[in-house]
């Protein structure tokens, strides 16, 4: 198995079990951090235990995202216990709960998930100030680990594609079967009152759960259906807002309930090597890993400051252009624009936690067109995306908003009012799809 781990902090191992602090990769199968922790447990002659902390201060925590996450975690717990790996759930603040668990259990080493987003980076820094045992991080999100595919922020898909492609041969291999994780000794793991947890959390409960089954098994079902019914038309249908041509895997990928590696391997094995397969792998691997690269190397990933220089200049040059329509964040949120297509997309987002990819582009571009400044537009788009999208709070979301509003990963286009050289998008194409 190719190494996806790196040592974040050296230290003196404690006397207790190896701890996998699971955070972003909420699954058992095809989880390289879990396999790495299991390998370390064998090396050190220790047992492995897993900890997950539910923190209601998590940025934009709400009932929709937490209900989906907690449903998935129930499946993780059952599977880990069948492998004699205890799964501890703690409710509280990260990293305090992780620190007190380590102090109590005297863990030997910690293995945890890679995440480029700032809250996770700062949690790890805090952790290093309080625990002095070795800490390893494993990238279970990207097929080629983010810090290996490139050592800088990439300009576009064109520049990162060859870097990832040349490493795929090394990394595109399945992980061992979960049975190889099985521990001899049965260790105690507490029972969990899942419904009680959800009730007790101090989160925004006005964003209601959606009717979508969570967890690795559900993700497999969605993947199988996509492969059987839709991938054969993916290249031509993925931009059609009226047909269901995409995989709908993004919530499962976002919560780490399925790994991109597993999805890619299955698609490669079961689908012919044609334009559809290529188009899907371009999104799943190149575009997704480009988004991770952006958030990893650009600390301003969710604001105007993170846009490319040419776009910032051009948007500022057009800041005083007259806007025919101007809306506040509240008007956008309540879908009170003059445009029925935009309002419909926003309404669906609020109710069902999702939006078609092509509509997301239109939605983001219009927020720029109808906001007082590009800076405000980015704030509005990120706020709505993170609050309502089930797959929000993700590098793909920050990158998608920055692509629409700030020309990220795009080239300068011909000049347009308000947009400057940032690519403009009208409603013609989508409207014609709606008429069909």
Ligand X SMILES: Cc1cc2nc3c(=O)[nH]c(=O)nc-3n(C[C@H](O)[C@H](O)[C@H](O)COP(=O)(O)OP(=O)(O)OC[C@H]3O[C@@H](n4cnc5c(N)ncnc54)[C@H](O)[C@@H]3O)c2cc1C
Tokens of 307: 């846009």
Nearer to ligand X, 67 or 264 (CB): 264
**Local structure of 411: helix, strand or coil:** coil
Nearer to ligand X, 25 or 394 (CB): 394
Nearer to ligand X, 34 or 246 (CB): 246
Judge whether 116 and 68 are in contact, CB under 8 Å: no
Nearer to ligand X, 65 or 108 (CB): 65
Do β-strands 18-21 and 5-9 pair in parallel, antiparallel, or remain unpaired?
A: unpaired
Tokens of 373: 């400044």
379 binds ligand X (CB under 6 A): no
Binding mask 280-309 for ligand X (x = CB under 6 A): ---xx--xx--x------------------
51 binds ligand X (CB under 6 A): no
Interface with ligand X: number of residues (CB under 6 A): 29
Distances (CA, A) of 58 to 114, 123, 400: 16, 11, 21
Helices (H), 226-285: 234-237, 250-254, 260-270, 275-281
Residue 405: other Cβ atoms inside 10 A: 29
97 binds ligand X (CB under 6 A): no
Judge whether 214 and 200 are in contact, CB under 8 Å: no
Binding mask 246-285 for ligand X (x = CB under 6 A): xxxxx--xx----------------------------xx-
Report the site for ligand X in 195-234 (rule: CB under 6 A): none
Nearer to ligand X, 38 or 380 (CB): 380
* Identified binder of ligand X from the candidate list 140, 215, 306, 392, rule CB under 6 A: 392
396 binds ligand X (CB under 6 A): yes
**Local structure of 231: helix, strand or coil:** helix
364 binds ligand X (CB under 6 A): yes
CA torsion through residues 169, 296, 392, 127, sign: positive
DSSP codes, 113-153: E---SHHHHHHHHHHHHH--S-EEEE--SSSS-HHHH-SS-
394 binds ligand X (CB under 6 A): yes
160 binds ligand X (CB under 6 A): no
Q: State how far the Cα of 89 lies from the Cα of 94, in Å rounded to an integer.
A: 12
389 binds ligand X (CB under 6 A): yes
In the complex, least distance from residue 171 CB atom to ligand X, rounded to whole angstroms: 17
In this chain, which stretch among 12-20, 71-79, 329-337, 385-393 interacts with ligand X, using CB under 6 A? 385-393
In this chain, which stretch among 27-35, 45-53, 107-115, 240-248 interacts with ligand X, using CB under 6 A? 240-248
361 binds ligand X (CB under 6 A): yes
315 conformational bin, left if phi > 0, alpha if psi -120 to 50, beta if neither? alpha
DSSP codes, 213-228: --SHHHHHHHHHHIII
Number of H helices, E strands in the chain: 20, 6
238 binds ligand X (CB under 6 A): yes
Nearer to ligand X, 182 or 217 (CB): 217
Which residues contact ligand X (rule: CB under 6 A)?
238, 246-250, 253-254, 283-284, 287-288, 291, 357, 360-361, 364, 385, 389, 391-392, 394, 396-397, 399-401, 403-404
């Amino acid at each position: 198995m190719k190494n996806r781990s790196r040592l974040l902090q050296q230290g003196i191992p404690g006397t207790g079990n190896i701890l996998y602090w699971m955070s972003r990769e909420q699954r058992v199968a095809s989880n390289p951090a879990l396999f790495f922790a299991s390998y370390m447990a064998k090396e050190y002659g220790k047992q492995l235990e897993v900890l997950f902390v539910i923190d209601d201060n998590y940025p934009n925590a709400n009932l929709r995202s937490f209900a989906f996450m907690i449903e998935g975690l129930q499946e993780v717990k059952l599977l880990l216990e069948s492998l004699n790996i205890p799964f501890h759930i703690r409710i509280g603040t990260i990293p305090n709960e992780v620190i007190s668990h380590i102090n109590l259990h005297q863990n030997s080493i910690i293995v945890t998930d890679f995440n480029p987003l700032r809250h996770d980076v700062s949690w790890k820094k805090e952790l290093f100030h309080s625990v002095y045992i070795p800490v390893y991080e494993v990238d279970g999100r990207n097929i080629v680990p983010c810090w290996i595919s490139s050592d800088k922020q990439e300009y576009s898909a064109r520049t990162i594609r060859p870097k990832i492609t040349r490493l795929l041969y090394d990394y595109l291999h399945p992980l061992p079967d979960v049975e190889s994780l099985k521990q001899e000794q049965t260790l105690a793991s507490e029972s969990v009152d899942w419904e009680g947890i959800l009730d007790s959390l101090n989160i925004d409960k006005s964003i209601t759960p959606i009717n979508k089954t969570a967890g690795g098994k559900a993700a497999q079902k969605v993947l199988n259906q996509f492969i059987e019914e839709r991938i054969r038309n993916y290249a031509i249908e993925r931009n059609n807002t009226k047909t269901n041509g995409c995989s709908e895997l993004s919530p499962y990928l976002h919560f780490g309930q399925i790994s991109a590696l597993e999805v890619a391997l299955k698609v490669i094995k079961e689908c012919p090597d044609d334009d559809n397969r290529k188009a899907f792998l371009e999104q799943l691997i190149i575009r997704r890993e480009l988004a991770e690269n952006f958030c990893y190397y650009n600390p301003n990933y969710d604001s105007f400051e993170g846009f490319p220089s040419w776009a910032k200049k051009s948007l500022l040059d057009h800041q005083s252009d007259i806007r025919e329509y101007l809306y506040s964040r509240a008007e956008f949120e309540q879908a009170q624009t003059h445009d029925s297509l935009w309002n419909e997309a926003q309404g669906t987002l609020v109710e069902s936690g999702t939006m078609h990819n092509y509509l997301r582009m239109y939605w983001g571009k219009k927020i720029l067109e109808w906001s007082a400044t590009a800076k405000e537009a980015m704030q509005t788009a990120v706020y709505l995306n993170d609050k309502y999208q089930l797959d929000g709070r993700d590098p793909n979301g920050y990158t998608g908003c920055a692509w629409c509003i700030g020309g990220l990963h795009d080239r300068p286009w011909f000049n347009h009012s308000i947009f400057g050289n940032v690519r403009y998008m009208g409603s013609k194409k989508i409207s014609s799809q709606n008429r069909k």
